[in-house]
Structure 1
Amino acid sequence: MNSPSFVSRVQKYWKEYLITGMFGGISTPIGQLFRNSVYRFILSKMGKSVCILPNVRLIGTSHIAIGDRVKLQPSAYLHTHGNPIHLGNHVVLDQGVNIRAGGGEMGVYTDGISIGENTYISAYAFIAGPGSVRIGRDCLIASHCSIYASNHIFADRNTPIHAQGLTMKGVTIEDDCWLGSGVRVLDGVTIGRGSVIGAGAVVTKSIPPFSIAVGVPAKVIGTRGSDDRSAALEKALALQN
């Protein structure tokens, strides 16, 4: 019980608890200045010119790496559960974005959640492990999107669903993708580079690069930049978003 690893975990917890508790809620410019100074002592990495606004909640800070010029809006919530969360340079997490790497509490350790450079995650989006999630660079994730890198196994009718375990295949969203408002992305999916997913779509299967997909479940209705991209296709996408 008094092993170095246990003592180290307790020390990290209290350091994180005290620093985020003291400085996390200060709303004045001085508060941001304090956060930029002292959060460097608890985060795995903190780049230059980071902007962490008031009431951002960070749990498991020793597993959180933040690049240069990242902006975390009020009420953003990041919980590592022992797995890494990495935010690349110029990432923006809007108000109420909720990111939970998951897994560590179950003894499951993965590559965690990684968000590439210049990606914008809009208000109240939800991203959850414990499978790995990789979002590429230059992506736009609209408000209220949900990305789930796990799914319940339910094949056995004689065993409660909660006791049958989880799939943890992971989710990949490649560079330069746009997910419209309220899109749901399920475990095991890869959304190919440059794709556009219409608002409210539920993505249950992988999407090829440069696709335009809409609906429940999401179906590809066209390809970006192709000759057959008609005005009707543009109109359909506009109605979705």
Structure 2
Amino acid sequence: MSENIKTGRMVFRHWRSIILFLCAIISPLPKFFRAYLLDVFAGFPGKTGVGIRYILIRTLVKACGDNVYIGRWCVFKNLQNLSLGSNISFHERSYVDAAGNILVGNDVSFAHSVSIISFEHRYALSEQPFKYQPVELKKICIASNVWVGCGVRILAGTIIDSDVVIAANSVTKNHLTAGVYAGSPAMKIKELS
């Protein structure tokens, strides 16, 4: 690798002590205000925007490792139920709702426009319209070394083991073991060698 090329890991290591210091400074701010700032800086460009979003996310989630990239215009809900490992990337316009708890391991990449939703709407014919019926919370577990393609939908109750690749526009709602998956619902199409 050329000495002129700096990876996200290298940049994070260089700035880690300052980033953690800034996290400590803003942590005492009210949670609603930090969440508001995350919305305000959702579209802020460049490395400064990435740094600000990381600092805010780290102070809002249940757990957060190092070097977590949050692209522009990502939406995060119920952050108190989100646990993140290290070296994770959420690319532009990803949507994450951790109402039912979401756990993400290390070295995971979510391409743009990925949705991760940890609840389901119940529906039954009754006096109550569908939109007002209760939701069912279901935990999502994503292990390490996972690559999620653009437009993938990870639905409530999904378990994704290590060494999984999910092709663009797939929909998951089951247990995915090592391999390459595609389709709706996502099915294993290839073993990894």
Q: Which runs of 5+ in 2 are unaligned?
A: 1-17, 38-46
Distance of 1:60 and 1:85 partners within structure 2: 18
Task: Give the CA deviation at 1:216.
Answer: 1.2
TM superposition score normalised by structure 1 = 0.58
Q: Which residue of 1 aligns with 2:71?
A: 94
Question: Higher relative CO (CA 8 A, sep ≥ 6), structure 1 or 2?
Answer: 2
- Post-superposition Cα deviations, 1:178-197, rounded to whole Å, max 9, x if no partner, equal 00011000001111111000
Q: 1:77 to 1:182 in 2, by over 3 A?
A: farther
**2:34 aligns to what SS in structure 1?**
strand
**1:159 aligns to what SS in structure 2?**
coil
Which of 102, 112, 130 lines up with 1:133 in the alignment?
102
Q: Which residue of 1 aligns with 2:24?
A: 40
Distance of 1:122 and 1:172 partners within structure 2: 19
Distance of 1:117 and 1:73 partners within structure 2: 15
More helix by share: 2
Task: Give the CA deviation at 1:88.
Answer: 1.0
Q: Which residue of 2 aligns with 1:216?
A: 184
1:29-178 matches, within 5 Å, as 40-43=24-27, 58-59=34-35, 73=50, 84-101=61-78, 112-178=81-147
Retained in 1: the 8 A contact 2:22–2:55? no
Q: Which runs of 5+ in 1 are unaligned?
A: 1-33, 45-56, 62-69, 103-110, 226-241
Q: Which residue of 2 aligns with 1:182?
A: 151
Q: Which residue of 2 aligns with 1:195?
A: 164
TM superposition score normalised by structure 2 = 0.71
Q: 1:194 to 1:38 in 2, by over 3 A?
A: closer
